[in-house]
Amino acid sequence: MTSIKLADRVTSIRVSPSTAAAQKVRDLKAQGREILNLTVGEPDFDTPQSIKDAAIEAINAGDTKYTSVNGTEALRKAVQHDYKTRLNIDCELNEICVGGGAKQVLFVALMATVQEGDEVIIPAPYWVSYPDMVIANGGTPVIVKCGEDVGFKLTPEVLEASITPATKWVILNSPSNPTGAAYTAAELRALGDVLVKHPHVLVMCDEIYDRIWYADFDVCSILGVCPELKNQALVSNGVSKSYAMTGWRIGYAVGPLELVNAINKLQSQMSSCPSSVSQAAAAYALTADQSGVDEAVEVYRARRDRAHELINAIPELTCTLPDGAFYLYPCCAGAIGKTTPEGKKIENDLDFGLYLLDTAGVASVHGGAYGLEPYFRISTATSMEEIEAACAKIAEACAALS
Ligand code: PMP
C-alpha cells in the first residue's frame, strides 16, 4: 500500500467523537450486544409526510437543476420571514446564504475569514465540531470553560477577558449541544455590549436547536436583541433538528453582506449550490403550519423531564434542567474515584462512560469530548422506553460502585 502524505489540515483534526460513539454502538450491535443508545444526535421522528410531498412536487415541477449559489429566493424569503417574526432580525435577501447543512455554512464562514494565528473563542462545553473546524481552517481555538455555576454560559466578564487583538470570532450556541442551556435576552444584551466595543470580533450564533425550546423565557437571538451588531454577527440555523430533516442537508445563515458574499464565493467553487429538491422542502417546512414542531417539542419535553427526574434520583449523579435541544448533561463527579465490581477505579468521565457501556449496555458520550469534565451527554432523541430502561441500568451500575 502506498502511503499518501495528507495535508496538515486533515491530520490535525479528529473524527467527531459523537460520530465515533455512534459507530461504536453500531459495531457492538452488529456483534449481537444489546445496547441502549443515548448517543443519538438527530430526531428519532421521520420527516413529516407533508414535507416529503413538497419535495416530490418540486421534483415533478422540474426543480431539479442548479439553483443560484446563495440558495433559491423562495427559501431565502422563508428564512427572512422566520428571522423577522420569531427573532426580530431584519435582513435583506442578499444577506442570507444557504448551504448543505448548518455545519457546512459554519465551516465555510470560518474558511472565509480565519487566517493563520487568528483566535476563535469557544465556550466549553461546546459542540464537538467547533474546535476542529477552526483548526482545519488554520485558526487557534481558545477554549473558555463555562461551568455549571454560570449555567454553562459565557459571561460578559469572561468574554471581555478572553478577547485579544488576534480574536476573530466568538462562538455562541443557544440552546447548547451538549447542555441544553439557552441565553436570555438580558444575557445576550450584556455579551453584545462587550462585542460592540471590539468591532474586530465577529460572533457566530449557532441556533440550530432554537425551535426545540422549553424555557419559560422567550427564544431570542443576539442580533435581534442587539441590532447594532449587524456588521459583526452571523446567525445560523437549519431544518435538520426542528423538522427531522438531517438527511436533507439544508442550513442557512444571516450575516454582514461582505461575509455572506465571501461564503457564497467559496460555495460557488465547492458545491455550486445545495440540493434544489431539499431547498424546496426546507422552504415548505419553514412556511407551513408549525403544529408538527410543537407536537415534537412536547414529546421531547416529556422525555427531558423524565430523564432529568431519573438521573437526579441516582446518588452519584446530578443534572441541570435543559432550556432546549434534546440532550442532558449530567455531572458524574459522585462516581469519580469509586471502584467497579471488577476492581477498576473510575478516574474520569471517559472511564465512567466505558463502564456504563460495558456493564450496563448504555451508550453515552463522555464530557471530555465537549471540553468540560466530569460529565456525560445523553440524548433524548429516542423513545421514552429506551430512556427509562437506560436510566434504570445507569442506576444499577452506579449502585454497584464502591
Ligand atoms: N450545530 C450544532 C450545535 C449541532 O448539534 C449540529 C448537528 N449535530 C449542527 C450545528 C449541524 O446541523 P446540520 O445538520 O444543519 O449540519
Q: What is the pLDDT of residues 302-330, one digit of tens each?
A: 999 999 999 999 999 999 999 999 999 99
CA dist 230 and 255 (Å) reads: 7
Q: Which atom of ligand 1 is nearest to the CA of 206?
A: 1
What per-residue confidence (pLDDT) applies to 15? Answer: 83
CA–CA distances in Å: residue 337 to residues 243, 334, 351: 42, 8, 10
Q: What is the 269 CA–ligand 1 centroid distance (Å)? A: 23
Q: Which atom of ligand 1 is nearest to the CA of 100?
A: 16
Q: What is the 103 CA–ligand 1 centroid distance (Å)? A: 6
Q: What is the 397 CA–ligand 1 centroid distance (Å)? A: 31
- Which residues form ligand 1's pocket by a CB distance below 6 Å? 41, 101-103, 127, 173, 177, 206, 208, 238, 240, 246, 251
Q: What is the 149 CA–ligand 1 centroid distance (Å)? A: 26
Question: For the chain, which domains are there?
Answer: 8-46+292-399 (3.90.1150.10), 65-287 (3.40.640.10)
Each of the 402 residues of the chain gets a pLDDT tens digit; together they read 668 999 999 999 988 877 888 888 889 999 999 999 999 889 999 999 999 999 999 999 999 999 999 999 999 999 999 999 999 999 999 999 999 999 999 999 999 999 999 999 999 999 999 999 999 999 999 999 999 999 999 999 999 999 999 999 999 999 999 999 999 999 999 999 999 999 999 999 999 999 999 999 999 999 999 999 999 999 999 999 999 999 999 999 999 999 999 999 999 999 999 999 999 999 999 999 999 999 999 999 999 999 999 999 999 999 999 999 999 999 999 999 999 999 999 999 999 999 999 999 999 999 999 999 999 999 999 999 999 999 999 999 999 999
What per-residue confidence (pLDDT) applies to 375? Answer: 98
Q: What is the 102 CA–ligand 1 centroid distance (Å)? A: 6
- Decide: 356 and 318 in contact? Cβ < 8 Å: no
What per-residue confidence (pLDDT) applies to 1? Answer: 61
Take atom 7 of ligand 1 and give the residue whose Cα is closest. Answer: 41
CA dist 50 and 122 (Å) reads: 38
Q: Name the residue of 208, 209, 245, 271 to mutate for ligand 1: max ligand atoms within 8 A of Cβ.
A: 208
Q: Name the residue of 39, 42, 79, 103 to mutate for ligand 1: max ligand atoms within 8 A of Cβ.
A: 103
Q: Which atom of ligand 1 is nearest to the CA of 176?
A: 3
Q: Render pLDDT for 195-250 as a digit per residue (tens, 0 to 9).
A: 999 999 999 999 999 999 999 999 999 999 999 999 999 999 999 999 999 999 99
What per-residue confidence (pLDDT) applies to 241? Answer: 97
In this predicted complex, what is the ipTM? Answer: 0.99
Q: What is the 2 CA–ligand 1 centroid distance (Å)? A: 35
Q: What is the 106 CA–ligand 1 centroid distance (Å)? A: 9
What per-residue confidence (pLDDT) applies to 16? Answer: 80
Three-state SS for the chain is: CCCCCCCHHHHCCCCCHHHHHHHHHHHHHHCCCCCEECCCCCCCCCCCHHHHHHHHHHHHCCCCCCCCCCCCHHHHHHHHHHHHHHHCCCCCHHHEEEECCHHHHHHHHHHHHCCCCCEEEEEECCCCHHHHHHHHCCCEEEEEECCHHHCCCCCHHHHHHHCCCCEEEEEEECCCCCCCCCCCHHHHHHHHHHHHCCCCCEEEEECCCCCCECCCCCCCCHHHHCHHHCCCEEEEEECCCCCCCHHHCCEEEECCHHHHHHHHHHHHHHCCCCCHHHHHHHHHHHHCCCHHHHHHHHHHHHHHHHHHHHHHCCCCCECCCCCECCEECCECHHHCCCECCCCCECCCHHHHHHHHHHHHCEECEEHHHHCCCCEEEEECCCCHHHHHHHHHHHHHHHHCCC
Q: Can you name the residues that pair with 143 across neighbouring β-strands? A: 122
Q: What is the 389 CA–ligand 1 centroid distance (Å)? A: 27
Entry pTM: 0.97
Q: Name the residue of 127, 239, 252, 380 to mutate for ligand 1: max ligand atoms within 8 A of Cβ.
A: 127
